[in-house]
Amino acid sequence: GAVVSQHPSWVICKSGTSVKIECRSLDFQATTMFWYRQFPKQSLMLMATSNEGSKATYEQGVEKDKFLINHASLTLSTLTVTSAHPEDSSFYICSARIPTGTSNSYEQYFGPGTRLTVT
Amino acid sequence: AQKVTQVQTEISVVEKEDVTLDCVYETRDTTYYLFWYKQPPSGELVFLIRRNSFDEQNEISGRYSWNFQKSTSSFNFTITASQVVDSAVYFCALNVWNMRFGAGTRLTVKP
């Protein structure tokens, strides 16, 4: 079946540095990818929706200049956390959506997540 | 606006008990999808079921069953004869254009 991978699976970085997380769809082309953030013991919160070749759409309250999303190809989306701070420490999960072929129907697959710790 | 409410924050049961996790959703769209996911401590989401808004048939898969009722906007999940391996956080989600998750229910099954 369809698989979404994320790299790295975990990362520790120092405050003030930037870190990039990659999300790849392995068996299919995803025109739309989503990025979620999950703080400990909380739910997944949608951060942004990215469409291949266009600018990402950010949810209210998510700083687009801090969380840079690039979806340059149909199989790769990247999330860069710029000037990371300890409060950015979280579990970041990407998701890819593919149409199933029938009208308005699609599947959404989730990556395994990336655990970011900012010290 | 889309909203998902999971009534129980935490549930603790003893092995072999049946347990039901409640989920209530809100949307003005007539076409939507409902999901249940399991999230074990590793963090990776495990897909359990998807239902579209036009299919109200209940479903059973082994010890798992789901009850979808549009009249009450509910999509409840029941685990029969629970096992310790069922311990996890379970999320109900609503997908219209994008996936919105409920707050999650932490299920602990004690031996």
B43-94 pLDDT, tens digit each: 999 999 999 899 888 888 999 999 999 999 999 999 999 999 999 999 999 9
Chain A residue numbers with beta carbons less than 8 Å from the beta carbon of B103 are 42-43
* pLDDT tens track for B98-111: 899 999 999 999 99
Handedness of CA B27, B30, B33, B35 (dihedral sign): positive
Q: Is the peptide bond before A8 cis (omega within 30 degrees of 0)?
A: yes
Give me the amino acid identity at B72: T
Chain A residue numbers with beta carbons less than 8 Å from the beta carbon of B95 are 108
- Is the pLDDT assigned to residue A107 strictly greater than 90? no
A-B C-beta contacts closer than 8 Å = 37
CA nearest to A45, candidates B27, B88, B104, B100 = B100
Q: Which residue of B has its CA nearest to A107?
A: B50
**In which region does residue B16 sit, left (phi positive, over 0), alpha (psi from -120 to 50) or beta (all else)?**
left
